Amino acid sequence: MCNSVLTHPILNSGRAAWLCALCNVLIVLCGSAACGNAMAAPPDKQDLLAHADGAYVLPRTETFTVLSNLGRAYRIFVWVPQQAAPKSGYSVLLLLDGNAFFPAAVSALQSMASADMPPSVLKADGVQPMMIVGVGYPGDAPINPQRREFDYLPEHASVKPPENSPNKVPWLLSGGADAFLSFLVGELRPALARRYPIDPNRQTLGGDSLGGFFVLYALFKQPDAFQNYVAISPSLWWDDQRLMTDAAKSAHLSMQGATHHILLAVGENEIPDYPDRSTLLRTLSETMATQLRRAGGSQLDVSFVELTREDHLAMPFATMPAALRLASQ
């Protein structure tokens, strides 16, 4: 078309050149559109997950692999809120089995104490910004059975059951509870204080199952080690219920300073399909709460909570809002 225009004797002028240029542009545009239509895959044929962004990292979190003075390795998870620390420093919720429960605690806190919430809403909800510290073990497994048994339990006091004895709870590796408590209070806490602005008078210890046993053991062993204690589904059956015996013998828990707070939480259906065991766990925890109220007097504020329909595995997650409220005190 352009060639015929250019060779026409009448139209061989500037107008002809303009028409030719326009023609070429149209050819290019038409060709590009056709090419584009040929190359573009229909939306339903596209692979939406063709390119991953990489592993997800929990924002505002640092992790450390540390060795205790006894040479035992721990993985420490630390989350710091976006809000600036108060003059006294952040309150701290220290969670055992950090590999499993640290992310849940952070997610719950971010929802319940968001930096975008006005102070009036935070006050009404009862959850304040705080640091969350998870104490776990190297590796990605959520639970390390052998390590936690040793760290959370003191030496057995009862006679070891015979091998393959029927109706006996398996013998657990134990003996490291005192050393672990010393690590938490004497090694980890000073290291955290050197790196972060923390309030030494607003420290909460939380644990589940054997970790819940350790929380109560720490309370009896060193009452002022923490100001608040969260014992979730504590394994009070362990070692012929020795902690129950210790509580019954304890006439008074000697604590200094302000009132300490403790939350004892169990599920209605702790061990599904074993109602007798579930009843035992609930009864032991409720009895422990009563004994703590007697031994702690006015210095220990004890709450006992039974969550309807919850079982042993779900309890750490179901109890998290209540744990955060307690740690906010």
**What's the per-residue H, E or C state across 135-172?**
EECCCCCCCCHHHHHHHHCCCCCCCCCCCCCCCCCCCC
Q: Are 263 and 305 in contact (CB under 8 A)?
A: yes
pLDDT in tens, 248-274: 888 778 777 778 999 999 999 999 999
Q: Are 276 and 242 in contact (CB under 8 A)?
A: no
SS3 193: helix
Which residue segments constitute the domains of the chain, with CATH numbers given?
Answer: 1-26 (no CATH), 68-327 (3.40.50.1820)
> Residue 13 pLDDT more than 50?
no
Check residue 152 and give its pLDDT.
Answer: 98
Check residue 124 and give its pLDDT.
Answer: 67
Check residue 119 and give its pLDDT.
Answer: 72
Q: Are 284 and 87 in contact (CB under 8 A)?
A: no
Check residue 306 and give its pLDDT.
Answer: 97
> Residue 23 pLDDT more than 50?
no
Check residue 114 and give its pLDDT.
Answer: 82
Q: Locate tokens 């790196």: which residue?
A: 195
Of 25, 26, 24, the residue nearest 2 (C-alpha): 24
Q: What is the side-by-side strand order in the sheet with 198-208?
A: 61-67, 73-79, 131-136, 90-96, 198-208, 228-232, 260-267, 300-307
> Which amino acid, residue 12?
N
Q: If you average pLDDT over every residue of the chain, what do you get?
A: 85
| pLDDT tier for residue 121 given thresholds of 50, 70 and 90 | low
Check residue 33 and give its pLDDT.
Answer: 47
Q: How many helices (H) and strands (E) does the chain have?
A: 12, 8
Question: In sequence order, what E strands does the chain have?
Answer: 61-67, 73-79, 90-96, 131-136, 198-208, 228-232, 260-267, 300-307
Q: Phi, psi (5° rounding) for residue 31?
A: -65, -40
Q: Which residue has the higher pLDDT, 17 or 205?
A: 205
Interatomic CA distance for residues 199 and 201, integer angstroms: 5
Check residue 180 and give its pLDDT.
Answer: 98
CB atoms within 10 A of CB 181: 20
Interatomic CA distance for residues 61 and 82, integer angstroms: 11
Q: Locate tokens 């004890």: which residue?
A: 302
Q: Are 207 and 230 in contact (CB under 8 A)?
A: yes
| pLDDT tier for residue 298 given thresholds of 50, 70 and 90 | confident
pLDDT in tens, 67-82: 999 999 999 999 999 9
